[in-house]
Structure 1
């Protein structure tokens, strides 16, 4: 499913969900710039992948399915 939203709405939603993660770091995700985040207990609430064109983020894909996140070989949050 693809959902298109404006930049203001995306920023607002990102701020809304930022409280669920206590740590995050930039990473390459499937060769794309991305962000990994973890809760205090070490579980990942999400993995974000960004599409960038001409120096601007033009797309964001978020993986938030706990079962899929658990099956991934993500680095430790340390």
Structure 2
């Protein structure tokens, strides 16, 4: 499994299921609202901070019914450049 995270400091790539699970938790942050979405046509998830600003966008690559890669965007500049729905 592969985890790719776009952060303000650059891109972090992690390989391996255990490492990916630990890394995904590290980037979860404080979530006030969240919901499933399609990200470029693939399953994903968006979350917002309590003040309504986007916290993260996550996209899951799925092959043969299994998640094979996760891409997370937590960089505020990148999140600001993406057209995102308002918090639910």
RMSD: 1.7
Gaps of 5+ in 1: none
Residue 46 of structure 2: aligned partner: 36
Residue 77 of structure 1: aligned partner: 87
Residue 3 of structure 1, CA deviation = 2.1
Per-residue deviation, residues 5-54 of structure 1 (Å, max 9, x unmatched): 11111112222333422221111001111110111011112111110001
Which is worse superposed, 31-40 or 13-22? 13-22
Identify the structure with the greater helix proportion.
Answer: 1
In structure 1, C-alpha distance between the alignment counterparts of 2:43 and 2:35, rounded to whole Å: 11
In structure 1, C-alpha distance between the alignment counterparts of 2:29 and 2:78, rounded to whole Å: 21
Q: Determine which structure has greater relative contact order: mean sequence separation of CA pairs < 8 Å that are 6+ residues apart, divided by chain length.
A: 2
Gaps of 5+ in 2: 1-10
